[in-house]
Amino acid sequence: MKVLMIGMDPQLLDPTSETGRRIDFYKTALDKLSVVVLESHGKSYLGKILAFIKAWRVARGFLRKEKFDLISAQDPFATGLIGYFLKLETGMRLQLQIHTGLFTPYFVLESVKNKAYVRLAKFLLPRADCIKVVSYGIRDYIVEELKIDPSKISVLPVYVSLDDYTHSTIRTNLKEKYPQLNFIILMASRLVGQKNIPLAIEAVGELAKKYPSVGLIIVGSGPDEQNLKLLTKNLKLEDNVFFETWTNDLASYYKTADIFLLTSTYEGWARTVVEAGACGLPVVMTSVGVAGELVKDGENGIIVPVGDKDRTMKAIEYLYLHPEIRKSMGENARQVIKDISIRDPNEYLRQYKESFSPCQNKKKNK
């Protein structure tokens, strides 16, 4: 099978990046996988329009030079619109992918742009030949609300090589790096509004009043970094909240922290939660992404309502005060992740190739 993929992440074309290595892994399941990237050209409307036209022309060039079986767009937004135009022009089948919780009220209310994205997605999704989503929650929504035939939809999260985490040795021990802390809360994410990291900082600030040795390690970077550091300073939490740049040694962090915290307002899947669980780290997370699917409240983690600082703080405090429950949840998390079938790379590749089948079946049925 030959697939033309349209995405927005420049790292798709970088074979040394994690995203690029993942694309190379996907290629092994297909006869050919070519990638076109819709590059960002500033924030101006003109720049975005020019970038859109450029990506569309590049994709057309691929299709004119070589025969592909289908087009796969990595979102039902701008890349999906390019895919839809190419479908109309060439008659090729189109797969749309969904990687984020775009139908949650938090996504819609985040910006005017997101409202437009949701409207575009509701237009494009029924017109796709097949759809790939990262969670059953997303699938259930588009089946129930958009009345899309479930046979067109495949559920497959982004691939994570979990053995890289479970079998790795500890190179960085957070307990040794931060000896002043007796309880380490770990976060690892892009520093953007969707992650709602101010809530985490404020919750830790409340806990620190009772337990001065509780600390939060935030690993990542992003446009909100300076504002988050300023919030930490204003709350006088420099001894409890620490920022670190992204690291390729996250496995060591997962294995030497006490809990993993995710406070996002929306997620498609939440890969870091899966990585943490694979390392035996219990999770406190909002009811997004894998919550309810892989993370079971009270069994291998604690799920709290989105935006609820008080419940988040109490969940962290509960695990702080009950180390035996924390240990049990971590072991349960490790076992749940161990049991999922997509842990095996060959099985994942089989399911990845199978995710294109609804598009093929549609052609056969015609």
Is pLDDT larger for residue 318 or for residue 164?
318
Could you tell me if 129 and 153 are in contact, meaning their C-beta atoms sit under 8 angstroms apart?
Answer: no
Are 141 and 186 within one domain? no
CA 187-188-190 angle, 5° bins: 120
Q: Which amino acid is at 80?
A: G
Q: Is 211 left (phi over 0), alpha (psi -120 to 50) or beta?
A: beta
CATH label of the domain that carries residue 20: 3.40.50.2000
**Last residue of a domain, which of 158, 184, 206?**
158
Could you tell me if 129 and 358 are in contact, meaning their C-beta atoms sit under 8 angstroms apart?
Answer: yes
User: What distance in Å separates the CA atoms of residue 81 and residue 83, rounded to the nearest whole number?
Assistant: 5
Q: What mean pLDDT comes out for the span 164-191?
A: 95
Are 80 and 204 within one domain? no
Are 333 and 191 within one domain? yes
Is pLDDT larger for residue 83 or for residue 42?
83
**Last residue of a domain, which of 143, 158, 173?**
158
Are 275 and 144 within one domain? no
Residue 341 banded pLDDT, cuts 50, 70, 90: low
Residue 165 banded pLDDT, cuts 50, 70, 90: confident
Q: What are phi and psi of 10, to 5 degrees?
A: -60, -25
- pLDDT exceeds cutoff 80 at 286: yes
188-226 as b/e: b if 16+ CB within 10 A = bbebbbbbbbbbbbbbbbbbbeebeebbbbbbbeeebbe
- pLDDT value, residue 364: 46
Residues recorded for the chain: 366
Looking at the structure of the chain, the number of domains it has is: 2
User: What distance in Å separates the CA atoms of residue 5 and residue 223, rounded to the nearest whole number?
Assistant: 28
Are 152 and 221 within one domain? no
**Last residue of a domain, which of 131, 158, 185?**
158
Are 24 and 111 within one domain? yes
- pLDDT value, residue 366: 44
- pLDDT value, residue 162: 84
Q: Is residue 277 part of a domain?
A: yes
Percentage of residues in the chain with pLDDT exceeding 90?
Answer: 84
- pLDDT value, residue 342: 62
Are 135 and 200 within one domain? no
Could you tell me if 165 and 278 are in contact, meaning their C-beta atoms sit under 8 angstroms apart?
Answer: yes
Among 59-73, 87-101, 126-140, 150-164, where is mean pLDDT lowest? 150-164
- pLDDT value, residue 365: 45
> What residues form DSSP beta bridges with 291?
295
Q: Is residue 356 part of a domain?
A: no
220-273: pLDDT as tens digits:
999 999 999 999 999 999 999 999 999 989 999 999 999 999 999 999 999 999
- pLDDT value, residue 42: 62
Q: What mean pLDDT comes out for the span 78-84?
A: 98
Q: Please name which of 300, 353, 330 lies closest in space to residue 159, comparing C-alpha atoms.
A: 353
- pLDDT exceeds cutoff 70 at 53: yes
- pLDDT exceeds cutoff 80 at 340: no
Domain of residue 44 covers 2-158
Task: Label residue 84 exposed, middle or buried (CB < 10 Å: 0-12, 13-18, 19+).
Answer: buried
Could you tell me if 227 and 193 are in contact, meaning their C-beta atoms sit under 8 angstroms apart?
Answer: no
